[in-house]
């Protein structure tokens, strides 16, 4: 397996969650993985050990223009004239809160990482993808299909990613580049635990004037537990897109994603009522 090379694939956020699982599955299928590591390559050592001869670690902060340009130079040095067979944009962050309780800095951080970061690395890698007739795989979410209460920043970033993906697909259709969007629902990852800390702080600092409006949202979010489909299911969908000569434009993964797609088609006020009931129901489970 170490000598097999189906081509070069760059994965952002490759050292945890979806990115790490995708990298391992891609290595199993014979790809050479260029793993974007944040904050430095030290976090990618376990991935490097998985297939030492077919993993290249590069430091990458998708929100930093200098880091993105440096990544472009490093990719050039690795792939040469071969170009990239794939770019998987999986670097991302989640944050849930009613809009009135989100700071401008929190909103900016989520959008910068999830959307602007995807744009930056995608634009930098287009020449490599054109040369390799590669496939861009952007990791969206069912939050890019259906806007739910407390998802102001996260949904905005994922709806934006859906639009960006559609634009790039149309613009590059005659360049030999494919663009696919992965739309998973809830995934069983440690992200559930990391979400709770900031939510607890917002609930603790909620003043009496706002508590009647937002306390039930925050308490419901705190009642959620680690849940969802195995991350491997998302990785398999990504590999399906990478391996296809003509991938689908969208891959919905998991029951939540299919339900969100259906609910999004309902009349707006009816949809709002359902979304509110769903979010607030978490506290009673």
Tokens of 204: 């603790």
Tokens of 217: 């949202």
- Which CA distances in Å does 145 have to 4, 162, 169, 243, 244? 38, 9, 18, 25, 24
Return the biggest CA–CA distance within the chain. 64
Given the residues 38, 154, 217, 251, select the one marked as catalytic. Answer: 154
d(CA 65, CA 31) in angstroms, rounded, equals 27
154 labelled catalytic: yes
Contact (CB, 8 A) for 177 and 135: yes
Buried b (16+ CB within 10 A) or exposed e, 86-102: bbbbbbbbbbbbbeebb
Query: H or E segment at 184?
Result: strand 178-184
Q: Which residues have CB under 8 Å from 189's CB, separation 6+?
A: 17, 18, 226, 228, 231
Q: Is 42 left (phi over 0), alpha (psi -120 to 50) or beta?
A: alpha
Contact (CB, 8 A) for 63 and 93: no
- Which CA distances in Å does 4 have to 7, 53, 221? 9, 10, 45
Give me the helices (H) in the chain, please.
Answer: 17-28, 45-50, 65-79, 104-111, 117-132, 152-171, 191-204, 211-223, 231-243, 255-263, 268-281
Tokens of 234: 């998302």
d(CA 137, CA 60) in angstroms, rounded, equals 18
Catalytic residue annotation: 154
């Amino acid at each position: 397996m170490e000598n097999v090379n189906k081509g070069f694939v760059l994965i952002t956020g490759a050292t945890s969650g979806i990115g790490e699982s995708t990298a391992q599955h891609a290595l199993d299928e014979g790809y050479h993985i260029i793993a974007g590591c944040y904050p430095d390559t030290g976090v990618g050592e376990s991935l490097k050990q998985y297939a030492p001869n077919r993993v290249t670690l590069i430091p990458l902060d998708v929100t930093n223009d200098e880091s993105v340009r440096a990544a472009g130079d490093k990719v050039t040095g690795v792939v040469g004239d071969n170009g990239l067979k794939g770019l998987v944009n999986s670097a991302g962050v989640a944050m849930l809160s009613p809009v009135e309780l989100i700071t401008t800095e929190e909103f900016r951080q989520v959008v910068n990482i999830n959307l602007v970061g995807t744009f930056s690395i995608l634009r930098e890698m287009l020449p490599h993808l054109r040369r390799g007739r590669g496939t861009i795989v952007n990791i969206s979410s069912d939050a890019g299909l259906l806007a739910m209460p407390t998802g102001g920043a996260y949904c905005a970033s994922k709806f934006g990613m859906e639009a960006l993906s559609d634009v790039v697909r149309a613009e590059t259709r005659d360049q030999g580049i494919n663009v696919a969007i992965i739309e998973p629902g809830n995934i069983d990852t440690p992200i559930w635990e990391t979400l709770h800390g900031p939510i607890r702080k917002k609930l603790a600092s909620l003043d009496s004037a706002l508590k009647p409006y937002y306390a039930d949202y925050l308490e419901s979010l705190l009642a959620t537990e680690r849940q969802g489909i195995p991350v491997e299911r998302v990785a398999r969908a990504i590999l399906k897109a990478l391996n296809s000569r003509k991938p689908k434009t969208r891959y919905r993964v998991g029951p939540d994603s299919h339900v969100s797609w259906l609910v999004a088609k309902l009349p707006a006020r009816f949809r709002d009522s359902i979304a509110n009931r769903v979010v607030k129901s978490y506290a009673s489970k």
